[in-house]
A and B are shown apart, each in its own frame.
Chain A
Amino acid sequence: EAQVTQNPRYLITVTGKKLTVTCSQNMNHEYMSWYRQDPGLGLRQIYYSMNVEVTDKGDVPEGYKVSRKEKRNFPLILESPSPNQTSLYFCASGSNHGTSGSWYNEQFFGPGTRLTVL
């Protein structure tokens, strides 16, 4: 089954304790991305990766790190979590479609990771 998996699904931690949320996809997608969802704000992009070893900042990258050493995996790292990073996190992977002048990227989302930082 084609899917994006995230682990853990739920995590409660304390301020300053480094954590990693894993994301894996089995669709051979080049593109992967992380989002956070907060009430009233929709989803905001944290980081994305166009391919292995190619990552770039999204709208809200502060306090997060990512790496893309393999095509299927795109972990999200919080080196020193703070309470304002309490949120629902989604990983997505995507495939590129279209023709010159009309490209788009269709994304498939994981089930989410609910993170609470105390």
Chain B
Amino acid sequence: AQSVTQLDSHVSVSEGTPVLLRCNYSSSYSPSLFWYVQHPNKGLQLLLKYTSAATLVKGINGFEAEFKKSETSFHLTKPSAHMSDAAEYFCVVSLFTGTASKLTFGTGTRLQVTL
């Protein structure tokens, strides 16, 4: 079984300040983890992925995430928020065995960026 917990349903930051979106996961297997972003009235876009290579993963638009196995966490960060970052962010754990595939989504964190 696998699950994802996004610890904050809503995060508000000022433009230019750091962003931290928290994600904890549970998986019976070595997980692959993703962050997706959804802008208002848009589909989902892949921000970054962890697939058992480097534990610090860089994604698009200046976002990073660090896989910490001991803490079962995969928090998303960005040094300086921009107004265009306002969106909903989903942490996702993937189980893929070759004959079956399952993505489990967190419930999402809505990021608000203020002036």
Binding site for B on A (CB under 8 A): 31, 33, 35, 40-45, 48, 50, 56, 58, 90, 94, 96-98, 101-112
Contacts and interface: CB of A to CB of B under 8 A. Distances in A.
Given A104-B96, A110-B43, A112-B43, A94 B105 contact: no
Contacts of A35: 105
Nearest to A104: B32
Contacts of A43: 44, 90, 103, 105
Given A40-B107, A102-B51, A104-B94, A48 B101 contact: yes
B100 A103 contact: no
Residue in B32, B49, B101, B108 whose Cβ sees the most chain A Cβ within 10 Å: B101
A52 B93 CA distance: 25
Q: Considering the complex of A and B, which 3 residue pairs feature the smallest CB-CB distances, nearest first?
A: A104-B32, A42-B105, A109-B44
B7 interface: no
Residue in A33, A96, A102, A103 whose Cβ sees the most chain B Cβ within 10 Å: A103
Contacts of B42: 111-112
Contacts of A31: 101
Interface in B61-115: 90, 94, 96-103, 105-108
A106 B43 contact: no
Given A90-B43, A90-B44, A102-B30, A107 B51 contact: no
Nearest to B42: A111
8 contacts: A43-B44, A48-B101, A56-B100, A98-B32, A98-B96, A105-B94, A105-B96, A105-B103
A33 B45 CA distance: 16
Given A45-B102, A90-B44, A109-B43, A104 B97 contact: no
B46 A42 contact: no
A58 B90 CA distance: 18
Given A41-B107, A42-B108, A105-B94, A58 B43 contact: no
Nearest to B32: A104
A68 to B, nearest CB: 14
